[in-house]
């Protein structure tokens, strides 16, 4: 029986990882990587242009992060399957990604076989969680409804204030934030003032530190090497991609 080609977009801010992941995925006879992105903003654009079946995306990336990209794309493309591929296995990240619409959550330390299993499952309409995610994290996810924007901030901030805080922590200036959010500079200044008041912080660096400490953006100094071998994803561990997806 003829199998259909699975079209995949890869989003990760490490070039060497994207190259390695593309090679591993395209070693499967019925997989085509139709696009790549180095940040969440580009991931949204590439998915809109290429219309893939699956987006495999890192969770923490510059500009727009992976969870926000998933949330935005799921609204625009309800049939798109999203696989979060990340170094982060803690409850905060798992709940945030799944709450934004991720269909699968895979750790970069897993094998390529695990990732292929995740892709197979989501294309069958199933959810998939890496076997490396602890039972406690899974139980925490099942305990109740998700409120991603409240995970780090206990409901103190509005969704737009969280967006503004992430962009501040990523180093954007008020004018750049305004352009990104399609609002005025004055509105951004208001959000910044609200953030300082609600969080009892009094400078841009303090806001940035708070965002890093609460996992809203990734601290590049503590991220793992992007070498595909550090992900545990080696060609020798591959299995044939499922014939019927």
Tokens of residue 57, six digits = 């995306």
Q: Between 107 and 166, whose confidence is greater?
A: 107
Could you give the CA distance from residue 213 to residue 13 in angstroms, rounded to a whole number?
21
The dihedral of CA 73, 75, 80, 82: what is its sign?
Answer: positive
Helix/strand/coil (H, E, C) string of 191-203?
A: HHHHHHHHHCCCC
3-state helix, strand, coil split of the chain in percent (to 5) is 50, 10, 40
Which pLDDT score, from 0 to 100, does residue 145 have? Answer: 44
pLDDT for residue 219 is more than 70: no
Q: In whole angstroms, give the CA distance from residue 73 to residue 51.
A: 11
Q: What is the mean pLDDT of residues 22-33?
A: 93
Mean pLDDT of the region 205-221: 68
pLDDT tens digits along 48-83:
999 999 999 999 888 888 888 999 999 999 999 999
**What global pTM score does this model have?**
0.62
Select, from the ranges 33-37, 64-68, 183-187, the one with the highest average predicted confidence (pLDDT). 33-37
Mean pLDDT of 11-23: 94
**Alpha carbons 29 and 170: distance in angstroms, whole number:** 39
Strands 81-86 and 104-107, sheet pairing: parallel
Q: Which residue has the higher pLDDT, 151 or 12?
A: 12
pLDDT score of 160: 83
- Percent of the chain past pLDDT 90, that is, above it, reads 40
Lowest-pLDDT choice from 124-128, 152-156, 171-175, 177-181: 152-156
The pLDDT mean for the chain works out to: 80
| Per-residue pLDDT tens digits for 124-143 | 999 898 887 755 455 555 55
Q: Quick check: 18 pLDDT over 80?
A: yes
Which of the two residues, 31 and 234, has the higher pLDDT score?
Answer: 31
Half-sphere exposure of 199 (CA within 13 A, CB side): 25
Which residues contact residue 134 at a Cβ distance below 8 angstroms, ignoring those fewer than 6 apart? 89
Report which DSSP code applies to 27.
Answer: T
Query: Are the C-beta atoms of residues 207 and 165 closer than 8 Å to each other?
Result: yes
Sign of CA dihedral 26, 240, 48, 163: negative
For residues 15-31, average pLDDT: 93
Cβ atoms of 220 and 181 within 8 Å: the answer is no
Beta bridge partners of 85: 106
> What's the token pair of residue 82?
């999203």
The residue-averaged pLDDT of 115-128 equals 92
């Amino acid at each position: 029986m003829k199998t259909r080609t699975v079209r995949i977009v890869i989003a990760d801010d490490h070039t060497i990882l994207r190259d390695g992941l593309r090679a591993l995925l395209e070693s499967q006879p019925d997989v085509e990587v139709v696009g790549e992105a180095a940040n969440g903003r580009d991931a949204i654009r590439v998915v809109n242009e290429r219309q893939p079946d699956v987006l495999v995306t890192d969770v923490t990336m510059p500009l727009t992060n992976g969870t926000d990209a998933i949330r935005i794309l799921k609204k625009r493309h309800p049939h798109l399957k999203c696989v979060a591929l990340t170094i982060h296995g803690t409850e905060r990240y798992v709940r945030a990604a799944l709450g934004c619409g991720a269909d699968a959550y895979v750790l970069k330390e897993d094998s390529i076989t695990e990732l292929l299993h995740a892709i197979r499952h989501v294309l069958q309409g199933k959810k998939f969680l890496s076997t490396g995610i602890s039972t406690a994290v899974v139980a925490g996810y099942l305990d109740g409804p998700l409120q991603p924007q409240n995970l780090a901030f206990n409901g103190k901030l509005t969704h737009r204030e969280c967006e503004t805080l992430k962009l501040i922590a990523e180093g954007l200036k008020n004018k750049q934030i305004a352009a990104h959010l399609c609002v005025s500079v004055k509105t951004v200044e208001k959000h910044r003032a609200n953030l300082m008041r609600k969080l009892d912080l009094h400078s841009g660096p303090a806001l940035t530190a708070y965002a890093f400490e609460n996992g809203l953006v990734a601290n590049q100094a503590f991220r793992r090497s992007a070498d595909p071998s550090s992900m545990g994803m080696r060609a020798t561990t591959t299995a044939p991609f499922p014939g019927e997806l």
